[in-house]
Chains A and B, each alone.
Chain A
Amino acid sequence: DSGVTQTPKHLITATGQRVTLRCSPRSGDLSVYWYQQSLDQGLQFLIQYYNGEERAKGNILERFSAQQFPDLHSELNLSSLELGDSALYFCASSNSGEVGYEQYFGPGTRLTVT
């Protein structure tokens, strides 16, 4: 158990819908990362937040957005969902947003878009 929690574990929804994935980092960790894992793209970095502020952006679509709240939990919002958005979405946290700090991954949310 990494100490990172993600809800829900599974999500099935239809195309065009909007969903929210939630992540609670390890106690004391200020940095949260979101990743998308799919068979064809592998593990892709989406976005990083550090202490409530966006720190880095990766291959995140404009239909996706995220935020980190004052209690440090984070939410990833996915809208206008397409079949290709079906994937595992991981959240990871670390003690720092700087180079070299280990990331702890949550168990993931499996999103299926039908």
Chain B
Amino acid sequence: AQSVTQPDIHITVSEGASLELRCNYSYGATPYLFWYVQSPGQGLQLLLKYFSGDTLVQGIKGFEAEFKRSQSSFNLRKPSVHWSDAAEYFCAVGARGGSYIPTFGRGTSLIVHP
């Protein structure tokens, strides 16, 4: 069974600073990988996803993530954070083949200081 770890419960950055949120997964093969964002009082919104091919994936809102097979990681990055990026971020992993039920990490809460 797959699993995903987000080691940072909270991350605090200043507006305009760069951001990296960590995600490590456990799965026997190359999984499907996702990053979702949840703003307060909202449901989850997909930021980006990795299925195959180019290991650097571009998403919405200026986010990108890089799949590193050797490190079993799929870290989310943004070069310059905006105050509106303050939210909860979830990494998810899905198994290839058959029905797709993702496993979500516990989330990382991003706090942005002005």
What is A's interface to B at a CB cutoff of 8 Å?
2, 4, 33, 42-43, 45, 48, 55-56, 58, 90, 92, 97-108
Contacts and interface: CB of A to CB of B under 8 A. Distances in A.
Contacts of B99: 48, 55-56, 97-99
A102 B50 CA distance: 11
A42 B45 contact: no
Given A56-B101, A99-B99, A102-B46, A107 B41 contact: yes
B98 interface: yes
Contacts of B49: 100, 102
Interface stretch (B19-27, B70-78, B89-97): B89-97
A108 B100 CA distance: 21
Contact of B104 (A4, A43, A104): A43
B43 A107 contact: yes
B95 A99 contact: yes
Interface of B: 32, 36, 41-46, 49, 51, 90, 94-107
B45 A99 contact: no
Given A107-B42, A107-B43, A99 B104 contact: no
A48 B90 contact: no
Contact of A105 (B45, B100, B101): B45
Contact of A42 (B43, B102, B107): B107
Give the top 6 A-B pairs by smallest Cβ distance, nearest first.
A105-B43, A99-B100, A43-B104, A105-B44, A42-B106, A56-B99
Given A98-B100, A100-B100, A4 B90 contact: no
Given A42-B107, A99-B32, A2 B43 contact: yes
Nearest to A47: B101
A43 B95 CA distance: 17
A26 B90 CA distance: 22
Nearest to B52: A100
A105 B100 CA distance: 15
Nearest to B105: A42
A25 to B, nearest CB: 13
13 contacts: A42-B104, A42-B105, A45-B101, A45-B103, A90-B43, A98-B98, A99-B98, A99-B99, A100-B32, A100-B51, A103-B44, A105-B44, A105-B45
